[in-house]
Amino acid sequence: MNNLIRTCEAITLAGYTREAQLHFTRPGWWYNEKLLSLGDYLLSHNQPEKVNWDLRDEPGLFMSETRMPTSHESGRWRILPSTGYPPHKLAIMFGAGVDSTAAVYRALDVYNPDQVIALWVNYGQPYAEKEHTAIARMIAHKVFPVEINLLSSGVQMRDDPDWGYIFPARNLFLAAIGSYYADRVWIVSTWRGDGADCAADKTDHFYTEASSVFSRYYQRDVTVETPVGHLTKAQLVGDMVQYHPGEGVRALLDSTTCYHSQLLRCGKCSSCYKRWVAFTLNGLVETYAELEPPEYDVFWEKYLPKERSYGKTRAGEVELALTRWIVHRASVMRQELASLRSDLSEMGQKVRYRL
């Protein structure tokens, strides 16, 4: 780990713990006013208070790195030197979800597989084990076409109801890692809709400023961006179904997005709901732990009203998905009713015969 990654990790950790009280006492930090200004923006976004920066050294946070074999070739494990040009052209910060899985396949439209590396980081997210398992499924099914490294960090999320699943400044930390491996870093975030609240580390300002900070540190042109910021999740899945109907769709089905720490698909969290909309609109069917997203009250009381505030595109997608789901459920119910009538008729015939 270099000084840039250490500093970005410390900023992220400070934001999560709400302390933002770090002290520069050792040369291991990379003190840079523009980086601290970016950190201030990320941690103070939509809040009146300004972050009080005073960076303090904490014991080693960044811990380990493990390479998993690719689907199509074993490849060679390469240790990146502390100085020199990175061996990859593109680093994709991979979360084992729908968006980053689709991004891997989009990357292959531009780059050769050996020019791309996917990076998964365990920063203590409650669903880390599920993400690791999803990656293993993709590799086992031979649908992960690029090299992937698994990284572990000392940053640990807690079960904190105040934050929920929001990790302030997380993408700063992830982008810092990605810029170590490549000149171009993809933080995969789809279009949220008109008027949608956007996390500070998913804004154009963040991408521009992070690119500038990392370029200055490495003395080379670094670009941090999202390749799918103009697409909704449903549109992104639609492209996969159209252009990668075999391996790509299999990879999507192997991916995981649920926030529940144990259930594969709880059906109730906002991530399951968004995945359900995207999959339903593109003819992909999955099962859930108990009920499908529209069968929960939170769907109607929270998710649907919020989508309608984001403009016609997002609201239209949800309403179309609901329409298709209702039509499908009605068809299933008709079949079940017809089967029940047949069973009752057969029972009636048996009773009359015995009489």
What's the domain count of the chain? 2
Instruction: Clarify whether residues 183 and 308 are in a common domain.
Output: no
Instruction: Identify whether 78 is part of a domain.
Output: yes
State the average pLDDT for the chain: 80
Instruction: Clarify whether residues 220 and 300 are in a common domain.
Output: no
Instruction: Clarify whether residues 208 and 334 are in a common domain.
Output: no
Whole-number pLDDT of residue 55 = 43
Q: Kindly give, in sequence order, each residue whose CB lies less than 8 Å from that of residue 313, ignoring residues fewer than 6 positions away.
A: 193, 194, 232
Angle between helices 170-181 and 3-16 (to 10 degrees): 160
Instruction: Clarify whether residues 170 and 289 are in a common domain.
Output: no
Whether the predicted pLDDT of 233 surpasses 90: yes
Is-above-0.85 flag for pTM?
A: no
Whole-number pLDDT of residue 104 = 96
Among 196, 189, 176, 200, which Cα is nearest to 226's? 189
Contact at 8 Å (CB) between 2 and 176? no
Q: Look up the CATH number of the domain holding residue 132.
A: 3.40.50.620
Tokens coding 158? 């807690």
DSSP readout, 268-288? -SHHHHHHHHHHHHTT-----
Whether the predicted pLDDT of 137 surpasses 90: yes
Q: Which residue has the higher pLDDT, 34 or 154?
A: 34
The Cβ of residue 8 has, within 10 Å, a number of other Cβ atoms equal to: 26
Specify the 3-state DSSP secondary structure of 257: coil
Q: What is the pLDDT of residues 246-261, one digit of tens each?
A: 999 999 999 999 988 8
Whole-number pLDDT of residue 48 = 39
What phi, psi does 263 have (nearest 5°)?
-65, 140
Q: Report the share of the chain in percent with pLDDT over 70.
A: 76
Contact at 8 Å (CB) between 219 and 181? no
Whole-number pLDDT of residue 265 = 94
Whole-number pLDDT of residue 29 = 66
Q: Locate tokens 């960090």: which residue? A: 153
d(CA 236, CA 234): 5
Domain that holds residue 160: 60-225
Amino acid at residue number 57: D
CA 247 distance to own-chain centroid: 19
In which band, very low, low, confident or very high, does the pLDDT at 95 lie, cut at 50, 70 and 90?
very high
Instruction: Identify whether 214 is part of a domain.
Output: yes
CA distances to 122, 161, 288 from 283, rounded to whole Å, are 32, 34, 16
Contact at 8 Å (CB) between 153 and 125? no
Instruction: Clarify whether residues 345 and 271 are in a common domain.
Output: yes
Q: Which of 206, 225, 244 is the last residue of a domain?
A: 225
